Amino acid sequence: MHVELQGVSKQYRTGDDREVRALDNVSLHIGEAEFVCLLGPSGCGKSTLLKLMAGIERPSAGSVRFAGKPVNGASTERGYVFQEYALFPWLTVDGNIRFGLELKGISRKRQQEAVERYLELLGLKQAARLYPKELSGGMSQRVAIARALILQPKLLLMDEPFAALDAILRRKLQEEVARLWRQENITFVLVTHDVEEAIYLADRIIVMSPGPGRIKEEVAVRLPRP
Ligand code: ADP
Ligand code: ADP
């Protein structure tokens, strides 16, 4: 399903009551099942753009729509993987991955099948009973990714999801994401600092300007799909 941003601006108010401009009149169309990577220097508004699409921030001006409807709050249709994997510290790896399925009222048997599949997929079987404080950064990030994927979102928003991982694991997860994108009808928006990652994964790369959030250019990638 497609995402549509029209004339979106976002200002934050800081603790000392200053206004910080994060996005300035951004318009953007992301097509059904398109894979878009957002590239740009630190502070240019990439995370803000994702949070607006996720519905966890509201625009100061303009509109954000998903599948034709205004985005209003978070929804399981729109998965979001944070830069800093916000796992529930009181739940095990298994419990963290299962959490959303429980909320959706999925039967115990189907929960179990899905959790086992995603534990396997992300190499977390040995870690199923561990708590977040016992995990390395890379493992935590894999749990965060599994937790989002298991809900089979129509739109998956990822904020530097592989930044904390070693090179081998990063490539494995990039391949996994590319496979999911081919097989499932998911629209992907991924923020990265890694130009190679963007070229490997994206249909289109959106490059943001340094300074207050504007789009500098859009580059269509014409490599054979991974
Ligand atoms: P990155 O550049 O790696 O995407 P972040 O998105 O975490 O890093 O932060 C980008 C900038 O936004 C940083 O300068 C950070 O200090 C600032 N920032 C993030 N969250 C807040 C906040 N809640 N209050 C003030 N500044 C913030
Ligand atoms: P990026 O992800 O590209 O690093 P962000 O979207 O995190 O950029 O931040 C864009 C701008 O908004 C930065 O100047 C940052 O400091 C500011 N910012 C982000 N979040 C907050 C916040 N919660 N409160 C105040 N300023 C923020």
**Separation of alpha carbons 162 and 144, rounded Å:** 11
If you measure from the C-alpha of residue 47 to the centroid of ligand 1, how many angstroms do you get, rounded to a whole number? 8
Task: Classify 17 as helix, strand or coil.
Answer: coil
Could you tell me where the DSSP H helices lie in 62-107?
A: 93-103
Return the higher-pLDDT residue of 211 and 59.
59
Report which protein residue has its CA nearest ligand 2's atom 11.
22
If you measure from the C-alpha of residue 82 to the centroid of ligand 1, how many angstroms do you get, rounded to a whole number? 13
Share of the chain above pLDDT 70, in %: 97
Residue entry with tokens 């409807």: 69
Could you say which ligand is closest to the alpha carbon of residue 163? 1
**Separation of alpha carbons 204 and 38, rounded Å:** 9
pLDDT tens digits for range 141-176: 889 989 998 998 999 999 998 887 888 878 888 888
Q: Residues 80-93: what's their mean pLDDT? A: 87
pLDDT tens digits for range 168-202: 878 888 888 888 788 778 899 999 988 999 999 99
Q: What is the C-alpha R_g of the chain?
A: 18
Task: Give residue ranges with CB within 6 A of ligand 2.
Answer: 12, 14, 20, 22, 40, 42-48
Q: Per-residue pLDDT for 222 more than 80? A: no
If you measure from the C-alpha of residue 52 to the centroid of ligand 2, how many angstroms do you get, rounded to a whole number? 12
The structure's pTM equals 0.84
Task: Classify 52 as helix, strand or coil.
Answer: helix
Task: Classify 151 as helix, strand or coil.
Answer: coil
